[in-house]
Amino acid sequence: MAYRVLGRAGPPQPRRARRLLFAFTLSLSCTYLCYSLLCCCDDLGQSRLLGAPRCLRGPRAGGQKLLQKSRPCDLPGPTPSEPSAPSAPAAAAPAPRLSGSNHSGSPKLGTKRLPQALIVGVKKGGTRAVLEFIRVHPDVRALGTEPHFFDRNYGRGLDWYRSLMPRTLESQITLEKTPSYFVTQEAPRRIFNMSRDTKLIVVVRNPVTRAISDYTQTLSKKPDIPTFEGLSFRNRTLGLVDVSWNAIRIGMYALHLESWLRYFPLAQIHFVSGERLITDPAGEMGRVQDFLGIKRLITDKHFYFNKTKGFPCLKKTESSLLPRCLGKSKGRTHVQIDPEVIDQLREFYRPYNIKFYETVGQDFRWE
């Protein structure tokens, strides 16, 4: 009776009640979701403006995360009106790992620089030995090959030359060796134009012994060349030495030195005795280190004498399990030369040697 008065057809059906409950629940969920998003966005915005750490961490925030109540930051950032010292991070980030690539610009790996020092001569004087010995020093980085820039490749330019160099730190010296520079007329001027402060090292040796060594090397490559005597003299009977032969001309040290002294003071040129380099390698290398302005770290403990080769070798080091000797092309047995030819060449070189001694202030005792 009551239901008819209200104009209802009957009591509400269960299906309709469920629909109303679902709609109410959905509306409430949407409202809560919007509120959560607004809170999160407000926290993130304040974090970015004030430099504080973000409240929500983690790269993945799915729907379930967003429905969770946002938690406050552990270390809230300061407000603009209340500056404070930067807070320490919760966990220290690992230091960046340095790449081992030579193309890296990291200062720890160094920079390619033009050489500050050059071994400019002389061929068959002991230049390779000096290079290998000085490379043991941690303050020296040297190019292993001979670039021949100031005699054969000058037209390639200084950028090409620099690109060949090893990377060095500010505290290290870049060094290269090309023995033919000493007898190249244009080399002193070209090196001076690169840097007037370049330090020059010249390894010299008894010019007669040096010429025989030079001939021995050439003979091993060209067995059909004339004899040493035939190449050394224009007229042996008259004692006329052929100075056009390069093996003879290189040993006229005083003549070549004149070109260098036009551009560099004598104090900027260091002369190494090829003979003392064999008998006292530590002493000679000590003077080389002094000349380069580096600490004397290469000492007697680095050398032993190789009786087979007839010259000193480097002992094994922590980085090398084997001792280091020069290559097979070094220490060859010289060809036998007529003693009279040797005497004639000694007389020829005598005035050049004396002038050389007087100029450099050293007596190398080649007579």
**Residue positions annotated with a catalytic role:** 124
Question: In the structure encoding, which two tokens stand for residue 180, read together?
Answer: 């033919």
Structural contact between residues 189 and 225, judged by C-beta atoms closer than 8 angstroms = no
Q: What value does the CA radius of gyration of the chain take, rounded to a whole number of Å?
A: 41
Q: Binding residue per annotation — 124?
A: yes
Q: Check residue 237 and report its DSSP letter.
A: T
Task: Give just the sign of the alpha carbon dihedral 153, 157, 161, 163.
Answer: negative
Picking from 330, 320, 318, 325, the residue whose alpha carbon sits closest to that of residue 303 is 325
Picking from 132, 143, 136, 194, the residue whose alpha carbon sits closest to that of residue 166 is 143
Q: Binding residue per annotation — 334?
A: yes
Q: Binding residue per annotation — 205?
A: yes
Alpha helices in 87-233 (DSSP H): 127-134, 158-164, 187-194, 207-221, 228-232
User: Roughly how many angstroms between the first and final C-alpha of the chain, as a whole number?
Assistant: 148
Q: Binding residue per annotation — 156?
A: no
**Angle, vertex CA 66, rays to CA 65 and CA 68, nearest 5:** 65
Q: Binding residue per annotation — 331?
A: yes
Q: Binding residue per annotation — 125?
A: yes
CA–CA dist 177, 272 (Å, integer): 14
CA–CA dist 92, 38 (Å, integer): 32
Q: Residues 286-321, buried b or exposed e (16+ Cβ, 10 A)?
A: bebbebbebeeebeeebbeeeeeeebbbbeeeeeee
CA–CA dist 235, 251 (Å, integer): 19
Q: Which amino acid is at 317?
A: T
Q: Binding residue per annotation — 333?
A: yes
Q: Binding residue per annotation — 276?
A: no
**Angle, vertex CA 235, rays to CA 230 and CA 241, nearest 5:** 75
- Helices 253-261 and 339-360 cross at an angle (nearest 10°) of 20
Q: Binding residue per annotation — 104?
A: no
Q: Binding residue per annotation — 301?
A: no
> Where is the binding site, in residues?
124-128, 205, 213, 330-334
> Where is the binding site for 3'-phosphoadenylyl sulfate, in residues?
124-128, 205, 213, 330-334
